[in-house]
């Protein structure tokens, strides 16, 4: 085989593998839409997305409380995980002695690898009774679910942010210190701002995991379809809704669960667009297109 044909086949082969992954995702999305659209059509788009009442036995399919539930759990957990994760990443990247890092980094990787059902079980056995004792109610709540999610997404945010902080050229740090800035001033004014695009990526990844998480949330969130009056009320997430009811759903109910999936897909797309926009904007403003 000539060099030219070899190149040709390798390039086309790579193209084929790349395209096949797109085709697979495309087929899955087509299937979800095919199964979900009938429910939206028969129940009405507006009634479905903004309807407050989800009771399949009475033919009511409003998912709005669950949109609020998913968003609430996700945002609340990001609110806790992002500051905590960033401070932890700064500590690991800038302050921690090498020996401590050698212990902490594998620990974080292990945390990231623990299956979600284990986190859920831990939350159910330990966290739910604790919340019940501290804040009253059943202990199953949006807050409980957010705490579990915080622990789950923390390793992602820490490790990706740490890499971002660590990849900032050493020259910046030296320049800042040589001007008489303290270590903390250097971190705050030079290293961290330069690492923001990477930090945003870490938040996107954490958010993706939080929105998609199902099992751990089912086990601690209470799963009541309602708009929570406070963060200590039980809620149901979109993901939980599908997982809880898919076993027995038939007919329009079955289609409505796929339609829930469509809502979930759109929610993730919107969140990704926002996050990517921020990422891009920061990259351009701090780098002037040169970084």
The site for other proteins (CB under 8 A) is made up of 169, 171-172, 174-182, 185, 189-190, 193-194, 285-291
Q: Minimal distance in Å, beta carbon 189 to other proteins? A: 7
Q: Minimal distance in Å, beta carbon 255 to other proteins? A: 51
Inter-residue contact 82 to 181 (CB < 8 Å): no
Q: Minimal distance in Å, beta carbon 139 to other proteins? A: 47
Q: Which of 101, 132 has the CB closer to other proteins?
A: 101
Q: Which of 13, 287 has the CB closer to other proteins?
A: 287
Contacts 24+ apart (CB under 8 A), 19-26: none
For 57-79, letters b (16+ CB in 10 Å) and e give: eeeebbbbbbbbbbebbbebbbe
Q: Minimal distance in Å, beta carbon 183 to other proteins? A: 9
Q: Could you give the C-alpha distances from 31 to 119, 170, 177, 261, in angstroms and in order? A: 31, 50, 57, 11
Q: Which of 110, 182 has the CB closer to other proteins?
A: 182
Q: Which of 88, 194 has the CB closer to other proteins?
A: 194
Q: Which of 179, 274 has the CB closer to other proteins?
A: 179
Q: How many CB atoms lie within 10 A of CB 118?
A: 11
Q: Minimal distance in Å, beta carbon 195 to other proteins? A: 10
Q: Which of 110, 285 has the CB closer to other proteins?
A: 285
Residues counted in the chain: 291
Q: Minimal distance in Å, beta carbon 277 to other proteins? A: 20
Q: Minimal distance in Å, beta carbon 53 to other proteins? A: 52
Q: Which of 4, 290 has the CB closer to other proteins?
A: 290
Q: Minimal distance in Å, beta carbon 287 to other proteins? A: 6
Q: Which residues contact 85 (CB under 8 A, 6 or more apart)?
A: 153, 154, 157, 158, 161, 202, 206
DSSP secondary structure code for residue 235 in this structure? B
Q: Could you give the C-alpha distances from 267 to 46, 67, 74, 239, 248, in angstroms and in order? A: 16, 8, 11, 12, 26
- R_g (Cα) of the chain, nearest Å: 23
72/88 Cα distance (integer angstroms): 24
Sign of torsion, CA 121 124 129 131?
A: positive
């Amino acid at each position: 085989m000539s060099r030219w044909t070899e190149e040709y086949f390798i390039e086309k082969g790579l193209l084929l593998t790349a395209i096949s992954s797109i085709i697979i995702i495309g087929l899955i999305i087509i299937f979800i839409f095919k199964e979900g659209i009938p429910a939206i059509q028969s129940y009405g788009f507006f009634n479905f997305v903004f309807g407050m009442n989800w009771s399949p036995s009475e033919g009511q399919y409003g998912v709005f409380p669950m949109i609020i539930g998913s968003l609430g759990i996700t945002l609340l957990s990001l609110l806790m995980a992002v500051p905590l994760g960033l401070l932890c990443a700064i500590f690991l990247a800038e302050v921690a002695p090498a020996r401590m890092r050698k212990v902490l980094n594998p620990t974080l990787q292990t945390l990231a690898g623990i299956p979600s059902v284990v986190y859920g079980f831990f939350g159910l056995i330990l966290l739910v009774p604790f919340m019940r004792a501290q804040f009253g109610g059943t202990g199953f709540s949006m807050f409980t679910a957010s705490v579990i999610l915080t622990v789950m997404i923390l390793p992602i945010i820490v490790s990706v942010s740490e890499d971002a902080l660590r990849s900032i050229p050493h020259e910046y740090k030296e320049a800042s210190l040589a001007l008489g800035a303290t270590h903390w001033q250097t971190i705050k004014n030079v290293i961290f701002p330069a690492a923001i695009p990477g930090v945003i990526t870490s938040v996107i990844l954490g958010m993706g995991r939080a929105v998609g998480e199902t099992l751990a949330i089912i086990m601690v969130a209470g799963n009541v379809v309602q708009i929570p009056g406070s963060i200590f009320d039980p809620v149901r997430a979109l993901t939980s809704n599908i997982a809880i009811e898919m076993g027995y759903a038939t007919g329009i109910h079955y289609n409505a669960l796929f339609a829930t999936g469509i809502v979930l897909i759109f929610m993730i797309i919107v969140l990704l667009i926002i996050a990517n926009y921020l990422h891009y904007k920061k990259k351009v403003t701090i780098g002037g297109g040169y970084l």
